[in-house]
Structure 1
């Protein structure tokens, strides 16, 4: 399942890059992220909760920064297992930062998500709708982080 999107932040690319390289700060913008722990400079573990129409799924997830081109792009891979439902997910995400001016940055993302087991049996349409909605809420939360000037260590609502 592929999901692509773009959103714009009223901030210079350097500030946006700093937030995207801070997994704990960025996690404050991810809907359903309950805990994140850095296990190395490029790896983290997280507990996540995802609401899919008629049920709430809890996941233990691991993420890794696979590649980073400063001020330009990054590639992250996240894998996770549902606590109460057999199945795994793997999400590979490519993020590109595109300066639109000195104070505006466009963020382009491409996700390739794969599901296995009972998780996959929930139906790709149902899951894709939830992932798309979550990505839109993430974009809103990142914008809020910058609009409220709290990108210096504060947390956005989510």
Structure 2
């Protein structure tokens, strides 16, 4: 099945392009998704989907097939399998960024193939689920962009303060007292007083090599298929239930007439 969605992010297209290519940031914003590892061009992770009280976990991998900066188009392929089941999911996702000044509109075209329990809901329900996921993703991405912007501005102010402090510390005024201070050791040597043992200098510990950890996923907010499908299922079920009730009424009337004829 093929699904189409779109959303808007509150940043210019150049910034949106770099953000959407950052798999760690994108995965952290995706409802129910957890990024486990990055191996070269391949990303491995998990995706949780709820069906009422039951949670289905898909484990799989994805990779960016193409990223055309001139057309601002990214194509990604992903495949996964149920951790406890035989269901599978495979998708080819193409996202295109459209410049709208201070904001960027992102159109997403997905070719999806699902087997197993979620497949029973059909295309229309899965399209609604996709819209729900995209909506939550866009909101989380907007919060991520706002928080990162605040952190970067705060870090810039902090760095400026540190630079100012360092430049202030580099200028030291020489006073008569400070100029006379180095003569103290010579006076101690002339008096014959034992010199205090020098404290052993400890070698500066080498800076620990920092490895960038994978971003921690947000709280477990996996999409519930039944919650999303509920209203739609109810709307579709009303005509069917109405028709069934009508058939039962007609059947009951016919049986009553037959019984009445038999009594006569």
Q: How would you bin the TM-score normalised by the shorter chain?
A: 0.7 to 0.9
Q: Indicate how the Cα distance of structure 1 residues 92 and 123 shifts in structure 2: closer, same or farther if over 3 A, else same.
A: same
**Does the CA contact (< 8 Å) of 2:42 and 2:62 recur in 1?**
yes
Contact 2:35/2:217, CA 8 A, preserved across alignment: no
Give yes or no for the alignment of 1:33 onto 2:46: no
| C-alpha deviation, 1:87, in angstroms | 1.4
Question: Which residue in 1 is equivalent to 2:46?
Answer: 47
Q: Which protein is richer in helix relative to its size?
A: 2
115, 120, 123: which one aligns with 1:122: 120
Superposition deviation, residue 84 in structure 1 = 1.3
Q: Secondary structure at the match of 1:11?
A: coil
Q: Provide TM-score, normalisation by structure 2.
A: 0.53
Q: Which piece of structure 1 moves more, 139-148 or 11-20?
A: 139-148
Which sections of structure 2, spanning at least 5 residues, go unmatched?
153-211, 220-264
User: Offset of 1:77 from its aligned partner?
Assistant: 0.8
Q: Deviations over 1:113-156 (max 9, x none)?
A: 1012x245432244443333212211211122223336969879
* 1:140-151 alignment, distance < 5 Å: 140-148=139-147, 149=149
Greater shift, 118-127 or 16-25, is seen at 118-127
SS for the counterpart of 1:96 is: strand
Moved over 6 A (4+): 150-156
Tell me whether 1:60 sits opposite 2:59 in the alignment.
Answer: yes
TM-score (norm 1): 0.85
**Considering only aligned residues, what root-mean-square deviation do their CA atoms show, in Å?**
2.5
| Matched residues, number | 155
Equivalent residue number for residue 80 of structure 1: 80
Cα distance, 1:53 vs structure 2: 3.5
* Contact 2:5/2:131 (<8 A) preserved: no
Answer with 1 or 2: which has the greater Rg.
2
CA distance in 2, matches of 1:69, 1:62: 21
| Residue 94 of structure 2 corresponds to residue 94 of structure 1 | yes
Report the more deviating stretch, 147-156 or 73-82.
Answer: 147-156
Paired residue for 1:9?
Answer: 9
Quick check: 1:145–1:155 contact (8 Å CA) kept in 2?
A: no
The structure whose residues are more often strand, as a share, is 1
- Tell me the SS of whatever aligns to 1:98: strand
Q: 1:156 to 1:85 in 2, by over 3 A?
A: closer
Give the drift of 1:157: 5.0
Q: For residue 135 of structure 2, what is the aligned residue in structure 1?
A: 136
Separation in structure 2 between the aligned mates of residue 49 and residue 63 of structure 1, nearest angstrom: 15
